């Protein structure tokens, strides 16, 4: 039961944290009414993943290994694009929040909601298919034992609970701290997703160098240990990282964090950015 608990936790954690931050952001900026867009994206992603997974597991339909990896790879890249967009969108809104021009937040949000649902959708859907396949396999074995499915469901629930805890904690932070930490957190998460997407595309043989490793610490940090699970679940840390994955990670994190902390050229928001950078 414990091994499947860890898988459930790992597969669900990242999406849960991203959704937790999204929800906290909307609640904090006084747009709790927009939450249903998030839940629509989440619900749709879960529904489609489960349906597609059931199709593959219970019928003769099958997806080639390359197609599955390509799905994971491109969905990851899409998720990175949306989460990055979200980070900068929140950063821009943060300036308006600081100047307390609430009318202008609304302007910013008119564009947001459509993309909010999509962000929620790709954040959940990215690992959705793989998780659904894993869940259905556990369901299929319930004739012999219910332990795998129990573990998996508890793991996913634990992931959701951690996302909820993050939301509770984040919603009580002051605005400046909230935007800085959630922003940096999302950038690190997105970098992990980016490098994971690169890994999937390497496995699909769309990108070369799967076996050219930057480092291999899988004996120190076994992927099936609880700490390996948390590292993988939160920042997508792979104990066996290829050179291309490492390059992808660094070349995402460095410029994006630079842009995130860069003092804005506009006069009023500049003050905010300077304060932000000093946190």
Q: Which residues pair with 50 in a beta bridge?
A: none
Instruction: Give 66 or 250: the residue with its C-beta nearer to another protein.
Output: 66
Q: Which residues pair with 216 in a beta bridge?
A: 240
Residues numbered 11 to 30 that lie near another protein (CB under 8 A) are 11
Q: Judged by CB under 8 A, does residue 273 bind another protein?
A: no
Distance CA 196, CA 190 (A): 10
Q: Judged by CB under 8 A, does residue 270 bind another protein?
A: no
Window contacting another protein (CB under 8 A); options: 131-139, 171-179, 183-191, 242-250: 131-139
DSSP string covering 207-276, please? SS-TT-EEEE-TTTS-TTSHHHHHHHHHH---SEEEHHHHHHHHHHHHHHHHHHHSPPSSHHHHHHHHHH
Q: Judged by CB under 8 A, does residue 144 bind another protein?
A: yes
Burial class (CB in 10 A: 0-12, 13-18, 19+), 111: exposed
Residues numbered 42 to 81 that lie near another protein (CB under 8 A) are 44, 48, 52, 60-68, 70-71, 74-75
Q: Judged by CB under 8 A, which of 42, 87, 90, 118 binds another protein? A: 118
CB 163, CB 189: distance < 8 Å: no
Distance CA 240, CA 215 (A): 6
Q: Give min distance, CB of 107 to another protein, in A.
A: 17
Q: Judged by CB under 8 A, which of 30, 36, 243, 263 binds another protein? A: 36
Residue recorded with tokens 């970098």: 191
Q: Judged by CB under 8 A, does residue 209 bind another protein?
A: no
Q: Give min distance, CB of 270 to another protein, in A.
A: 34
Residues numbered 159 to 198 that lie near another protein (CB under 8 A) are none
Q: Identify which of 62, 68, 64, 69 has the alpha carbon closest to the alpha carbon of residue 207.
A: 69
Q: Judged by CB under 8 A, does residue 110 bind another protein?
A: no
- Distances in Å between the Cα of 119 and the Cα atoms of 83, 124, 235, 270 are 7, 9, 18, 28
φ, ψ dihedrals at 240, nearest 5°: -120, 90
Q: Judged by CB under 8 A, which of 50, 54, 160, 210 binds another protein? A: 210
Q: Judged by CB under 8 A, does residue 151 bind another protein?
A: yes
Residues that bind another protein (CB under 8 A): 3-4, 6-7, 11, 36-37, 40-41, 44, 48, 52, 60-68, 70-71, 74-75, 113-114, 116-118, 121, 125, 130, 133-134, 137-138, 140-141, 144-145, 147-148, 151-152, 203, 205, 210-211, 218-219, 222-224, 239-240
């Amino acid at each position: 039961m414990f091994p499947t608990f860890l898988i459930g936790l790992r597969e669900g954690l990242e999406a849960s944290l991203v959704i937790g931050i999204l929800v906290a952001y909307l609640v904090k900026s006084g747009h709790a009414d927009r939450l249903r867009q998030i839940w629509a994206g989440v619900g749709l992603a879960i529904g489609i993943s489960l349906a597609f997974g059931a199709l593959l597991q219970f019928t003769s339909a099958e997806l080639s290994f390359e197609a599955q990896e390509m799905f994971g790879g491109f969905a990851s890249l899409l998720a990175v694009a949306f989460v990055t967009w979200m980070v900068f969108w929140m950063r821009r809104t943060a300036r308006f929040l600081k100047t307390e021009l609430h009318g202008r937040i609304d302007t910013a949000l008119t564009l947001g909601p459509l993309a909010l649902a999509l962000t929620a959708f790709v954040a959940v859907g990215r690992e959705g298919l793989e998780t659904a396949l894993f869940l259905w396999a556990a369901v299929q074995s319930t004739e012999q034992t219910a332990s795998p499915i129990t573990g998996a469901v508890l793991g996913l629930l634990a992931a959701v609970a951690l996302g909820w805890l993050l939301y509770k904690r984040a919603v009580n932070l002051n605005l400046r701290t909230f935007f800085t930490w959630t922003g940096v957190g999302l950038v690190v998460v997105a970098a992990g997703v980016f490098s994971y997407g690169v890994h999937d595309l390497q496995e699909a043989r769309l990108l070369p160098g799967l076996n050219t490793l930057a480092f291999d610490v899988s004996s120190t940090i076994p992927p099936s240990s609880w700490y390996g699970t948390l590292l993988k679940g939160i920042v997508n840390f792979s104990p066996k990282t290829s050179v291309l994955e490492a390059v992808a990670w660094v070349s995402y994190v460095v410029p994006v964090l630079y842009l995130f902390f860069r003092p804005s050229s506009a006069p009023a928001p500049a003050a905010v950015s300077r304060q932000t950078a000093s946190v």
